[in-house]
Amino acid sequence: MNFGLYEIISGVVVIAVLLGIRFLSSPRTSVAGNRLGALAMLGSIIVVLLYRGILGSFEVLAGLVAGGLIGLLLAIRVTMLRMPQLVALLNGFGGLASLLVASVVVLEGGSRLTTANILSSQLAIIVGGITFGGSMVAAAKLDGKVRQKPLLLRGHSVMSLLLLLFMAALAAYGPFARAGGAHAIMTGAALASLAFGVLFAVRIGGADMPVTISLLNASSGLAASICGFALGDYLLIAIGAVVGAAGLILTRIMCRAMNRSLLDILTGRTAYADGIVQAPVPQAPEGERAAPESEESRIEKVLGIISVAQTVIVVPGYGMAVSQAQSRVKELYDILTSRGTEVRFAIHPVAGRMPGHMNVLLAEVDIPYEVLCELDDINPCFGETDLVIIVGACDVVNPAAISAEGTPIYGMPILHVHEAKHVVVFNLDTSPGYSCVENPLYEKSNVIMMLGNATDSLAALLERIR
């Protein structure tokens, strides 16, 4: 292939997309960055239609319009709570699109295909199929259509391994097969990869979803890139690689935030201990422990603390999203800041069901992004904080991660809320989070538990503050 107009335009599109990503480094410029990327993509579609002389194809145009309309509807109708499902779904669509394009290459190519073409087509089919199968299960789990608990079948690992070997054998044999055989191999690879993707995702639990959808994000990009190899299209290779890199970065960040190795999650060692683990914490002497109190007296106490607190840090978790308590949190934020209290938010990287989930939920209720702080930035501040308000978070504030060696949660970076003067917890109950490790924080004498639906308990508190 010689370098012509199309290659030059591809270069321009890639530069525009990378520049757009550069703009994502600040919320101030991010909207422009995204639009730059969108414009570059639109331009590249128009160029391809003109350059290849396919503007007259009715089916192609109908396909473009139909897909565009469905995309438009999805984007308008999705709520921020359901964002992880949408991203998982789109990961899957990206993978399936690459699988289909690679299949057409195999079906139409015949004897014109080189070894590299065939090999990359088969690989694109396999990676695309795994992405699609895995993403559909992830989306169904996130949407609550399937139980979020990890499902481990009899011989799960053996089946996965056999499928993997089967796919590797098919891919290796692909270049030597004749036309009819190539079609059979293609179909076999597609089915095996779908099955592998499903097997991979069913054994992953709800709280491991941030890692899973980051990984599937990466593989959807990788599938597009390999598809580019099959077609000999540099633009697909480059953009797919960028998506793959993004997914890889997010996967690494998520793994670090949960203190898990990627291999553990991939091989299904995700199931934390069965049953509840008692964190061996030094029990406070009887006298210091908070005696059971009535709800009324607890509210009184919270009101007292709030009225004198100078610095407040709010820690949101997935529970806030489930209970849709964001707008109540915002009301509290408004009241406190209008009194001159300093209020910030501590966002743990794995709070929620996808990277950055808490940030979009809080941005939606107009909390300014300057007060949304990352784990490393906010952790040194807890020591001099008067009050921490936890809304629907458990594992990410569990001090057992620091003290209780041997428990599944040990070593995970947490928010050091236990260093603050007072802590008020708005959680549904005191049961442990996903890690199944009891949270010793709840037993401390400076911690007040406001149990129940966070929206209701916050409303009750707000009623009294006003």
Partner 1 sequence: MKMDLWIMIAVFIVSTALGYKLISDVPSLLHTPLMSGMNALSGITVLGAVVAAALALGYGSRILGILAIVLAMINVVGGFLVTDRMLRMFKSDK
Out of 8, 12, 50, 66, the residue judged to bind partner 1 by CB under 8 A: 66
Q: Which is nearer to partner 1, 52 or 145 (CB)?
A: 52
Of 144-152, 227-235, 385-393, 447-455, the segment contacting partner 1 by CB under 8 A is 227-235
Catalytic position from the list 233, 274, 386, 395: 395
Residue 404 near residue 427, CB atoms below 8 Å: no
Tell me if residue 386 is catalytic.
no
CA angle, 431 as apex, 427 and 435 as ends, to 5°? 105
Exposure string over 385-420, b if 16+ CB within 10 A, otherwise e: bbbbbbbbbbbbbbbbbeebeebbbbebbbbbbbbb
Q: Which is nearer to partner 1, 392 or 440 (CB)?
A: 392
User: Any contact of residue 25 with partner 1 (CB under 8 A)?
Assistant: yes
Cα atoms in the 13 Å half-sphere on the side-chain side of 90: 18
Cα atoms in the 13 Å half-sphere on the side-chain side of 53: 0
**If you compute the radius of gyration of the chain from its CA atoms, what whole number of angstroms results?**
26
Q: Which is nearer to partner 1, 190 or 417 (CB)?
A: 190
Cα atoms in the 13 Å half-sphere on the side-chain side of 7: 6
Q: Which is nearer to partner 1, 18 or 262 (CB)?
A: 18
In whole angstroms, the minimum distance from the beta carbon of 42 to partner 1 comes to 8
Q: The tokens of 134 are what?
A: 């895995």
In whole angstroms, the minimum distance from the beta carbon of 291 to partner 1 comes to 40
Of 24-32, 263-271, 301-309, 387-395, the segment contacting partner 1 by CB under 8 A is 24-32
CA angle, 286 as apex, 283 and 290 as ends, to 5°? 90
User: Any contact of residue 75 with partner 1 (CB under 8 A)?
Assistant: yes
- Cα gap 62→221, rounded to integer Å: 25
- Cα gap 64→429, rounded to integer Å: 49
Q: The tokens of 158 are what?
A: 């053996």
Tell which residue, 389, 396, 301, has the closest CA to residue 345: 389
Q: Which is nearer to partner 1, 1 or 291 (CB)?
A: 1
In whole angstroms, the minimum distance from the beta carbon of 142 to partner 1 comes to 13
- Tell which positions 234-253 bind partner 1, by CB under 8 A: 234-250, 253
In whole angstroms, the minimum distance from the beta carbon of 16 to partner 1 comes to 12
Q: Which is nearer to partner 1, 169 or 242 (CB)?
A: 242
Q: How many residues contact partner 1, by CB under 8 A?
A: 110
- Tell which positions 249-288 bind partner 1, by CB under 8 A: 249-250, 253
In whole angstroms, the minimum distance from the beta carbon of 66 to partner 1 comes to 5
- DSSP bridge partners of 388: 313, 423
Of 67-75, 160-168, 303-311, 446-454, the segment contacting partner 1 by CB under 8 A is 67-75
- Tell which positions 336-375 bind partner 1, by CB under 8 A: 347, 349, 354-357, 359-360, 363-364, 366, 368-372, 374
DSSP 26-69: SHHHHHHHHHHHHHHHHHHHHHHHHHTT-TT-HHHHHHHHHHHH
Q: The tokens of 409 are what?
A: 């949660």
Burial class (CB in 10 A: 0-12, 13-18, 19+), 206: middle
SS3 24: coil
Q: The tokens of 239 are what?
A: 């953009």
- Tell which positions 195-224 bind partner 1, by CB under 8 A: 213-214, 217, 220-221, 223-224
In whole angstroms, the minimum distance from the beta carbon of 64 to partner 1 comes to 5
User: Any contact of residue 323 with partner 1 (CB under 8 A)?
Assistant: no
CA 420 to chain centre: 29
SS3 233: coil
Q: Which is nearer to partner 1, 82 or 444 (CB)?
A: 82
Tell which residue, 392, 465, 403, has the closest CA to residue 434: 392
Out of 233, 306, 336, 415, the residue judged to bind partner 1 by CB under 8 A: 233
CA distances 215 to 219, 243, 364, 366, Å, are 6, 11, 26, 30
User: Any contact of residue 78 with partner 1 (CB under 8 A)?
Assistant: yes
Q: Which is nearer to partner 1, 57 or 307 (CB)?
A: 57
Out of 93, 200, 272, 382, the residue judged to bind partner 1 by CB under 8 A: 93
First to last CA, the chain: 72
- Cα gap 421→122, rounded to integer Å: 59
In whole angstroms, the minimum distance from the beta carbon of 70 to partner 1 comes to 5
Site string for partner 1, 372-391 (x = CB under 8 A): x-x-----------------
Out of 16, 21, 151, 335, the residue judged to bind partner 1 by CB under 8 A: 21
Of 95-103, 194-202, 400-408, 409-417, the segment contacting partner 1 by CB under 8 A is 95-103
Out of 8, 12, 31, 303, the residue judged to bind partner 1 by CB under 8 A: 31
Which amino acid, residue 323?
Answer: S
- Tell which positions 101-120 bind partner 1, by CB under 8 A: 101, 103-105, 107-108, 114, 116
φ and ψ at 362, to 5 degrees?
A: -75, -35
Tell which residue, 457, 452, 458, 432, has the closest CA to residue 443: 432
In whole angstroms, the minimum distance from the beta carbon of 371 to partner 1 comes to 7
- Positions annotated as catalytic residues are 395
